[in-house]
Amino acid sequence: MNIMKLKDVSYYYTPDRPVLHHLDVSFDTGKMYVVLGPSGCGKTTLLSLIGGLDVPKGGFVLYENQDINRIGLEQHRRSNVSFIFQSYNLIPHQTILANVELALTISGVSKEVRRKKAIAALEKVGLGKQLHKRPSQMSGGQMQRVAIARALVNDPEILLADEPTGALDSDTSIQVMDLLQEVAKER
C-alpha cells in the first residue's frame, strides 16, 4: 500500500535552477528506501518535502492519498513522520532520556507516559542502561542511537533519515543500518 506519493513535484531555489523537476514517486508501507546521488542533487530537499518541512513549487505531496497541505504541515510532522539527522541534534546539557522525552513533550504527552515511552525507545536501541548520560559522554554511534530513539518514540508511520551514517565509522554504520532495517519492517 502506498503511504507517501509525490505527484508531478517540482522544486527550485530559483526558476533557472531546478532541484526536482516533475517528480512522480511512491513509497509503500513496510519498506526501506534509499535515495542515492551526488551532493546537491536534491536528496535532502526530497526528504524535506516528504516530511512537510518545505512545500513543492508545483505538484502534490500525498500521505495516504491526502495532500499534506490539507492535513496541515505541522500536524503531518507531529503525527506521521519523524526525522533522524546526521548531526544528531541532541541537547548537550540534557540526559539522553530527557532528549528522547522532548519529542513527546512537544506532542503534549503526560510526564508519566513520556518517561515510559522514552525508556522503551532507548531500550529498543540498546541504551536502556545509559539513560542518565549526557551526549558528551557517548560515542557517535550511541548518539545516533539516541537520535533514532527520539525519532521512534512518537510511533511515526514514516521515518526519514538524512545521511544517518555519514558521521560514523564502518562498523557502527552497519549496526545503525541494521537497526533501521529492523524498524522499517514495522513502519
Rounded-to-integer distance, Cα 155 and Cα 66, Å: 20
Alpha-carbon span 172 to 180, nearest angstrom = 12
Q: How confident is the model at residue 11 (pLDDT cuts 50, 70, 90)?
A: very high
- Gap between the Cα atoms of 22 and 8, Å rounded: 4
Give 32-40's long-range contacts (Cβ < 8 A, gap of 24+). 32/180, 32/181, 32/184
- pLDDT tens digits along 121-139: 999 888 999 999 999 999 9
pLDDT at 187: 67
pLDDT at 169: 81
H helical segments located in 107-160: 111-124, 140-152
In the predicted model, is pLDDT for residue 7 greater than 90? yes
Reading the block at residue 185, the C-alpha cell is 519492517
Give the per-residue pLDDT at 131. 97
**How far is Cα 101 from Cα 105, in angstroms, rounded to an integer?**
6
Q: Which residues contact 169 (CB under 8 A, 6 or more apart)?
A: 140, 141
Residues 57-110 have pLDDT tens digits of 999 999 999 999 999 999 999 889 999 887 888 999 999 999 999 988 877 889
CA–CA distance, 51 with 159 (Å, rounded to integer): 9
- Closest among 70, 59, 50 to 24, alpha carbons compared: 59
- Model confidence over 140-170: pLDDT tens digits? 889 988 999 999 898 889 999 988 887 778 8
Which pLDDT score is estimated for 4?
Answer: 96
d(CA 87, CA 147): 9
**What band does 14 get if pLDDT is binned at 50, 70 and 90?**
confident
pLDDT band at 183 (very low <50, low <70, confident <90, very high): confident
pTM of the model: 0.85
What pLDDT is stored for residue 30 in this prediction? 84
